[in-house]
Amino acid sequence: MTSAEHNDSLSPNAQVTITGRNVEVPEHFQERVNAKLAKIEKLDPSLTFFNVELQHEPNPRREAQAQRVQITATGKGHLARAEAKEDSFYAALESALGKMERSLRKVKVRRQVARSGHRAPKSTGKIAAELAREAEEARAQAKDNFETDPYADTVEDVVPGQIVRRKEHSATPMSVDDALSEMELVGHDFYLFVDEETNQPSVVYRRHAYDYGLIALTAEAKEA
């Protein structure tokens, strides 16, 4: 068996479901997905379930992004999600896997720093260098995301200023560090949660470089 054949025969311990919307998923692609997820699983062995969804989006204006792959990984009490659109499902798979891997690595570093009892400087050292490289790669891959309307294919006759999507999440209190980890795992720029220290609704969000911000609601705002 060649090295490539061996890699394609790998599969994660976690349960995997692969579905296609408007597209058939060939067996060789399923084997590739399982082999790739087996490597992703090593970054977080607590993951128990992977859901991979393929969707063909026929749009002449977006031929270079017609093939969409979304990966959702769930474990005990946490979730990670990554999505990519490319001109082929193989390219979209690699792009989505890259995003998920970066998110899991960031969370792994954050947890290691938290367990050590101190925080390393964010602008120097090995962690900062790794995050800088990952941020540059993420910006390169996400460049086209800001040039298209994410609701163009799903909302008809959009009226400016209207709410086009609603979501509800559980309000289980958590620490700020856990909220930052959840934000990284789902790939968002902000995360709404209930701070376990204050029991108040709060939001963590990305700022410049590697810094984060925290907004909290209180009964009376403090004067600056």
In this structure, are 108 and 179 located in the same domain?
A: no
Identify the residue with better confidence: 47 or 184: 47
> What is the pLDDT of the chain when averaged over all its residues?
75
Residue where the block lists tokens 């082929």 = 88
- Report the DSSP beta bridge partners of residue 81: 72
CATH of the domain at 71: 3.30.160.100
Dihedral angle over CA of 170, 167, 15, 12, nearest 10: -100
68-107: pLDDT as tens digits: 999 999 988 788 899 999 888 999 999 999 989 888 888 8
Residue where the block lists tokens 């919307």 = 21
φ, ψ of residue 160 in degrees (nearest 5): -55, 140
In this structure, are 197 and 108 located in the same domain?
A: no
139-160: pLDDT as tens digits: 555 444 444 444 444 444 445 5
In this structure, are 43 and 112 located in the same domain?
A: yes
SS3 212: strand
Indicate the residue among 116, 136, 152 that finishes a domain: 116
In this structure, are 197 and 110 located in the same domain?
A: no
Identify the residue with better confidence: 89 or 65: 89
If one counts the domains in the chain, the total is 2
Q: Is residue 7 part of a domain?
A: no
Dihedral angle over CA of 97, 98, 103, 106, nearest 10: 140
Closest CA to 33 of 69, 76, 74: 69
Q: Is the pTM of this model over 0.75?
A: no
Which token pair is 189? 């720029």
Residue 35 predicted with pLDDT over 80: yes
Q: Is residue 42 part of a domain?
A: yes
146 alpha-carbon distance from chain centroid:
17
Q: Is residue 48 part of a domain?
A: yes
Q: How far apart are CA 97 and CA 36, in angstroms?
A: 8
Quick one: angle between helices 125-141 and 89-116, nearest 10?
160
**What is the residue range of 203's domain?**
175-216
Asked if 37 contacts 15 with a C-beta cutoff of 8 angstroms, the reply is no
Q: Is residue 47 part of a domain?
A: yes
In the chain, % helix, strand, coil (3-state, to 5) comes to 40, 25, 35
Q: Is residue 52 part of a domain?
A: yes
23 alpha-carbon distance from chain centroid:
23
Q: Is residue 207 part of a domain?
A: yes
Indicate the residue among 72, 94, 116 that finishes a domain: 116
In this structure, are 20 and 111 located in the same domain?
A: yes
Helix residue ranges per DSSP H, 18-165: 27-43, 89-116, 125-141
